[in-house]
Chain A
Amino acid sequence: MSTNTHETTAAIGGRRLRFAWYVLLVALLAIGGYGGYLRLAEGLRATNLSSTVPWGAWVAFYIYFVGLSAGAFLVSTLSNVFEVDGMHEIEREALFVAIVSMIVALTFVLVDLGRMDRLWHPFAWRQPLSVLSWEVHAYALYIIVLSGELYFSMRRDLVARSEADDGLRGRIAGLLTLGRTETSEESLETDRTWLKRLGMVGIPLAIVFVHGGTGNLFAVAAARSYWFSALFPVIFITSAVVSGMALIALLYVLRARLGSRALDTDLLERMAALFVGFVVLDASLKVLEAFVGIYSLHPGHVESWLTIMTGEMWWSFWVVMVGLGWIAPLVLLHRRDWRRRPALVAAAGASVVLGVIGTRFNIVVPAQIEPALYGLPTGYYVPSTPEWLLSLGIVALGVLIYTIGTELLPLVPRGEIHD
Chain B
Amino acid sequence: MSESEAADEPMPTIPGSSGDDSEDSEDFDDSYDEMVDVEATDPRVELEKTTYRTDLGIEMAEDARRVSRGELSSAAYWEKYDDDAATEFGDDYRETPNPAVDRDDGTIDEETAETLGCSVGSMASVAAALEASENAADAESKSDGDGDGDDPRWGMVIDLQKCVGCESCTVACKAENRTPPGVSYNVVLEREEGEYPNVSRTNVPRPCMQCEKPPCVQVCPVSATYKMDNGVVNIDYDRCIGCRYCMVACPYDARYFDFGENYDGEFDEGGEVTSPEYGTDRGPREDGESPVGNVRKCNFCHHRLERGEEPACVETCVGDARYMGDLEDTDSDVNELASSSRAFQLKEKEGTDPNVYYLK
- Interface residues, chain A, with chain B CB atoms under 8 Å away: 42-45, 49-52, 54-55, 112-115, 118-119, 121-122, 124-127, 129-133, 135-136, 217, 220-224, 368, 371-376
Contact = CB atoms under 8 A, between A and B. Distances in A.
Contacts of A224: 248
B215 interface: yes
A372 to B, nearest CB: 4
B77 interface: no
B183 interface: yes
B334 to A, nearest CB: 22
A45 B206 CA distance: 25
Contact of A51 (B189, B252, B257): B257
B309 to A, nearest CB: 27
A104 to B, nearest CB: 18
B293 A114 contact: yes
A371 B293 contact: no
B251 A372 contact: yes
Given A114-B243, A115-B242, A372-B252, 11 more contacts: A49-B259, A51-B253, A55-B248, A115-B241, A118-B222, A132-B219, A221-B249, A222-B215, A223-B248, A374-B191, A375-B190
Contact of A125 (B189, B222, B255): B222
A226 to B, nearest CB: 11
| 10 A-B pairs with least C-beta separation | A114-B242, A375-B189, A114-B293, A223-B251, A54-B244, A132-B221, A133-B221, A372-B253, A51-B256, A115-B293
A129 B249 CA distance: 13
A169 B55 CA distance: 103
A51 to B, nearest CB: 4
A46 to B, nearest CB: 9
Contacts of A121: 222, 224, 239, 241
A43 B244 CA distance: 14
Contacts, number: 135
A221 B248 contact: yes
Contacts of B260: 42-45
B313 interface: no
Contacts of A122: 221-222, 241
A222 B250 CA distance: 9
Given A43-B292, A114-B244, A221 B189 contact: no
A54 B220 contact: no
B247 interface: yes
Contacts of A54: 244, 247-248, 257
Interface in B203-233: 204, 206, 215, 218-224
B329 to A, nearest CB: 29
Contacts of A130: 218-221, 245
Contacts of A45: 259-261
A136 B346 CA distance: 33
Given A44-B293, A126-B223, A372-B251, A113 B189 contact: no
B295 interface: yes
A127 B220 contact: yes
Contacts of B247: 51, 54
Nearest to A123: B222
B80 to A, nearest CB: 60
Nearest to B188: A375
B319 interface: no
7 contacts: A51-B255, A51-B256, A114-B257, A114-B294, A121-B239, A122-B221, A126-B223
Interface of B: 182-183, 187, 189-191, 204, 206, 215, 218-224, 239-245, 247-253, 255-261, 288, 290, 292-295, 346-347, 350
B191 A375 contact: yes
Tell me which of A51, A125, A220 has the highest count of chain B C-beta atoms within 10 A of its own C-beta.
A51
Contact of A52 (B243, B252, B253): B253
Tell me which of A49, A127, A129, A371 has the highest count of chain B C-beta atoms within 10 A of its own C-beta.
A127
A44 B182 CA distance: 13
B249 A51 contact: no
A45 B224 CA distance: 22
B293 A127 contact: no
A376 B253 contact: yes
B223 A127 contact: yes
Contacts of B224: 121, 125
Contacts of B248: 54-55, 221, 223-224, 368
A220 B219 contact: yes
Contact of B242 (A113, A125, A374, A375): A113
Contacts of B222: 118, 121-122, 124-127, 133
A131 B219 contact: yes
A373 B347 CA distance: 9
Contacts of B257: 44, 49-51, 54, 114
A43 B250 CA distance: 23
A372 B247 CA distance: 11
Tell me which of B244, B257, B347 has the highest count of chain A C-beta atoms within 10 A of its own C-beta.
B244
B241 A114 contact: yes
B253 to A, nearest CB: 4
A121 B290 CA distance: 15
Given A115-B294, A224-B248, A375 B241 contact: no
Contact of A371 (B221, B253, B259): B253
B260 to A, nearest CB: 5
A271 B11 CA distance: 95
Contacts of B190: 375
Contacts of A371: 253
A223 B215 contact: yes
Contacts of B242: 44, 113-115, 118
A357 to B, nearest CB: 20
A45 B251 CA distance: 24
A360 to B, nearest CB: 15
A374 B244 CA distance: 22
Nearest to A120: B241
Nearest to B244: A54
B263 to A, nearest CB: 14
A373 B223 contact: no
Given A122-B241, A372-B252, A44 B223 contact: no
